């Protein structure tokens, strides 16, 4: 295993675990830990951002390259994830919105699937 892959594995695991635990703290009212959950989630997101910067530096690339395609790809990913999440909430949390929630969720999945040709391209 290359050093950059090992560093990515460690930082990615730590960042995702912190982010997931923070989200659980925020979203589970039984835990009564909303504000600490926000802090832990933010720390997890920062660790993941550091992982991205470190990996790019280890490969000899610039830390972050902001282009129109990169901004559009990130925006598409965020919108797709939010639409999928709203669809899930409509199905599981809000009363009487099963069918509309499924439709919204499928739209979110389609948006996320659109990321594949945007990132990899069509050949």
For residues 8 and 43, membership in a common domain is answered with yes
Tokens coding 19: 């982010």
Total-model pTM? 0.64
| Domain housing 15 | 1-65
- The secondary structure of 71-93 as a DSSP string is HHHHHHHHHHHHHHHHHHHHHHT
Compute the mean pLDDT over every residue in the chain, rounded to the nearest whole number. 91
For residues 71 and 57, membership in a common domain is answered with no
Tokens coding 82: 């939010």
The CB density around residue 113, as the number of other CB atoms within 10 Å, is 10
For residues 56 and 70, membership in a common domain is answered with no
Q: How many separate domains does the chain show?
A: 2
Say yes or no to pLDDT of 28 above 90: no
For residues 77 and 123, membership in a common domain is answered with yes
- Of 65, 88, 107, the residue that ends a domain is 65
Per-residue model confidence as pLDDT tens digits over 72-98: 999 999 999 999 999 999 998 888 899
Residue closest to 109 by CA, chosen among 75, 71, 76, 72: 76
Per-residue model confidence as pLDDT tens digits over 47-70: 999 998 888 888 888 777 788 988
For residues 14 and 54, membership in a common domain is answered with yes
């Amino acid at each position: 295993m290359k050093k950059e892959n090992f560093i990515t594995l460690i930082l990615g695991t730590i960042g995702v675990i912190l982010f997931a635990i923070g989200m659980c703290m925020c979203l589970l009212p039984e835990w009564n830990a909303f504000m600490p959950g926000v802090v832990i989630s933010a720390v997890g997101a920062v660790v993941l951002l550091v992982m991205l910067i470190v990996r790019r530096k280890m490969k000899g690339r610039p830390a972050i390259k902001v282009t129109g395609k990169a901004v559009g790809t990130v925006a598409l990913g965020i919108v797709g994830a939010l639409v999928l999440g709203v669809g899930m909430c409509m199905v599981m949390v809000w009363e009487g919105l099963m069918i509309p929630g499924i439709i919204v969720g499928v739209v979110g999945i389609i948006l996320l699937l659109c990321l594949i040709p945007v990132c990899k391209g069509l050949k």
